[in-house]
Amino acid sequence: MKHLAITLDGYDTNFSGCTTHYTIFLIKKILKEINGAKLVKGPYLVRLNPNIPLKTRGNASVSFLVDVSSGSSVEKILSLHRRYSEKYSSTNERNGKGTILISEDPVDIVKKEAYNIYKKALSDYVPIIEGIRFADKFGLVFEGEKSIIGAVSALGYMYSGDDSTFELLAYRMPGETGERKIDNLTAGKVLLSYKTLFNNFDEKRKLLVASPKGPDPVLIGIRGYEPKDMVDAFYKLKIEEKIWEWCIFKTNQHTDAHKVFRRINDLRVYQAAYIYGTVTKKPEVKKGGHVLIEVSDGSGTIDVIFYSETNPMNEIASRLKEGDNIGILGGAVEKKDEGIIFEAEKLWVYFLSPTVKELNPLCPKCGKRLKSAGKGKGYKCDNCGFKTSEKLEKIKIIEKRDILFGPYTPRSGRIRHLVKPVSLESIVLPKANDDIGNRTCSF
């Protein structure tokens, strides 16, 4: 037997297609048509830098490991792929959108260099040529170039010890379109009853957010970190349409994998980063609820925007004051009029600048608060009639701020793929290279 690590990216189509869906389709064909083939690891779902405008690169790359007999060749896998990807999508040509990469029994140096590319691709721009050079250097077989960075990254993540969560993806029957037939009330009761599940149902809006609205083939994607609970919850849902297949993907989603510390002066367009600094201006609340703050870290200053869709995080940002120390996870983007700004995905509040309030002194006779008798006329007490023309010292107190320390994120359904929800901050998550959740599928 030999191991074949297979990675894919870029098989999304405008209508009714996505890379994860095609992956399940291909795995089923491999297991059926290649004698003795066995799925031994995965599948894995990998998200990369969300700020890269080229959405075909690493938007959702996938990897898996199969055992095949010694007589089976990489060419057999490619032949299957060519045959079925042509039916699935019109973008399977070598220089087209999709990429397949196959590594036979990858050695440690291959895993290490693939991981290095993956780590860079999480928070930066990686040129296509780097992926091609990697594949050529180690003699890896691939077809398609434009999505090779996602494919290489999926290989690197699969063998890493990085934190992971899971997503149970269930797919609609071929040709099924329109509104997904999942009972919203039941979904809320079920999905919120498991502490190991997250970002599936918006309690405030009473809305299932684990089910997409577009034309893609996904029926529902349940997110969590305990596969048994995910399967249990899935079977409790009230789904009134037939399901094609379902499978649990191990994934880097919701792990803060792109949290790379950078100085503000070093930021470049399209980079994801974690910046730490001090608020230097009063927050500006813009039309629509967007909040703009200015942050400085000693190396430079940058405008940080919290869009209204990041609620309640944007509301917290609006209550920040000059001198507050905060950390922000987000991405550097270039706007036509504003130049480079930082789009916030997650907020940490570390230190709140004390706000000092001055109060009139207390009455020496009755203890009530004195009032001003007029400019330069001292104080008077409305309670007991006490008056004084002396210039008494005002009492200074530190006002309590209405913000708590700690991380803040948008609500469920608004959290970006890589951002770790607050509920996971203290959880020890599974690792990519352990065996938890592997091969948990309906087929």
> What is the CATH classification number for the domain harbouring 244?
3.90.600.20
Helix, strand, or coil (residue 121): helix
> What is the CATH classification number for the domain harbouring 34?
3.30.70.2200
User: Which residue among 129, 158, 187 closes a domain?
Assistant: 158
User: Which residue among 128, 158, 188 closes a domain?
Assistant: 158
Share of the chain above pLDDT 70, in %: 96
The token pair that represents 226 in the structure block: 């305990």
pLDDT at 94 over 50: no
Please tell me whether residues 272 and 228 are part of one structural domain: no
Please tell me the predicted confidence (pLDDT) of residue 339. 86
User: Which residue among 107, 133, 158 closes a domain?
Assistant: 158
Can you state the percent helix, strand and coil of the chain, rounding each to 5?
Answer: 25, 30, 45
Domain membership of residue 439 (yes or no) is no
Please tell me whether residues 406 and 283 are part of one structural domain: yes
What secondary structure does DSSP assign to 91-116, as a single string?
Answer: --STTSS-EEEEEES--HHHHHHHHH
Are the CB atoms for 257 and 320 separated by under 8 Å?
Answer: no
Please tell me whether residues 372 and 343 are part of one structural domain: no
pLDDT at 244 over 90: yes
Please tell me whether residues 120 and 239 are part of one structural domain: no
pLDDT tens string 171-228: 999 989 999 999 999 999 999 999 999 999 999 999 999 999 988 899 999 999 999 9
Helix, strand, or coil (residue 227): helix
Specify the number of domains making up the chain. Answer: 4
pLDDT at 93 over 60: no
- 49-53, 182-186, 306-310, range with the lowest pLDDT: 49-53
Please tell me the predicted confidence (pLDDT) of residue 91. 41
Domain membership of residue 336 (yes or no) is yes
Share of the chain above pLDDT 90, in %: 84
- 12-21, 38-47, 100-109, 376-385, range with the lowest pLDDT: 12-21
Q: Give the whole-angstrom CA distance, residue 132 versus residue 145.
A: 7
Please tell me whether residues 197 and 228 are part of one structural domain: yes
Contacts 24+ apart (CB under 8 A), 436-440: 436/227, 436/250, 437/166, 437/227, 437/248, 437/250, 438/40, 438/41, 438/42, 438/250, 439/39, 439/40, 439/41, 439/42, 440/227, 440/231, 440/247, 440/248
pLDDT at 325 over 50: yes
Please tell me the predicted confidence (pLDDT) of residue 217. 94
Please tell me the predicted confidence (pLDDT) of residue 24. 97
Q: What are phi and psi of 442, to 5 degrees?
A: -80, -10
Which segments within 252-324 are labelled E, that is strand?
A: 272-279, 284-285, 291-296, 301-306
Please tell me whether residues 186 and 171 are part of one structural domain: yes
Please tell me whether residues 181 and 237 are part of one structural domain: yes
pLDDT at 90 over 80: no
Domain membership of residue 441 (yes or no) is no
DSSP summary character for residue 234? H
Please tell me whether residues 220 and 309 are part of one structural domain: no
Average of per-residue pLDDT values in the chain: 94
Mean pLDDT of 329-358: 94
**pLDDT greater at residue 351 or residue 400:** 351
Please tell me whether residues 6 and 154 are part of one structural domain: yes
Mean pLDDT of 273-296: 97
Please tell me whether residues 91 and 59 are part of one structural domain: yes
Indicate the pLDDT class of residue 89, thresholds 50, 70 and 90: low
- Alpha-carbon distance values, 419 to 135, 218, 274, 345, 408 (Å): 30, 21, 12, 7, 11
- 144-148, 227-231, 272-276, range with the lowest pLDDT: 144-148
| Peptide bond between residue 430 and the one before it cis (omega within 30 degrees of 0) | no
Domain membership of residue 429 (yes or no) is no
Please tell me whether residues 318 and 373 are part of one structural domain: no
pLDDT at 14 over 90: no
Q: Among all chains, which residue has been given the structure tokens 């905060």?
A: 326
Q: Give the whole-angstrom CA distance, residue 108 versus residue 166.
A: 25
Residue 425 makes CB contacts below 8 A (sequence gap 6+) with: 407
> What is the CATH classification number for the domain harbouring 347?
2.40.50.1010
DSSP summary character for residue 314? H
Mean pLDDT of 11-24: 83
Domain membership of residue 259 (yes or no) is no
Q: What region, left, alpha or beta, does residue 105 occupy, with left being phi > 0 and alpha being psi -120 to 50 degrees?
A: left
pLDDT tens string 367-396: 999 999 998 899 999 999 999 988 889 999
What secondary structure does DSSP assign to 19-47, as a single string?
Answer: HHHHHHHHHHHHHHHSTT-EEEEEEEEE-
| Parent domain of 52 | 2-158
Domain membership of residue 329 (yes or no) is yes
Domain membership of residue 423 (yes or no) is no
Mean pLDDT of 161-177: 96
Please tell me the predicted confidence (pLDDT) of residue 15. 60
Please tell me whether residues 12 and 70 are part of one structural domain: yes
Domain membership of residue 197 (yes or no) is yes
Are the CB atoms for 24 and 96 separated by under 8 Å?
Answer: no
The token pair that represents 317 in the structure block: 């940002």
pLDDT at 258 over 80: yes
Please tell me the predicted confidence (pLDDT) of residue 363. 96
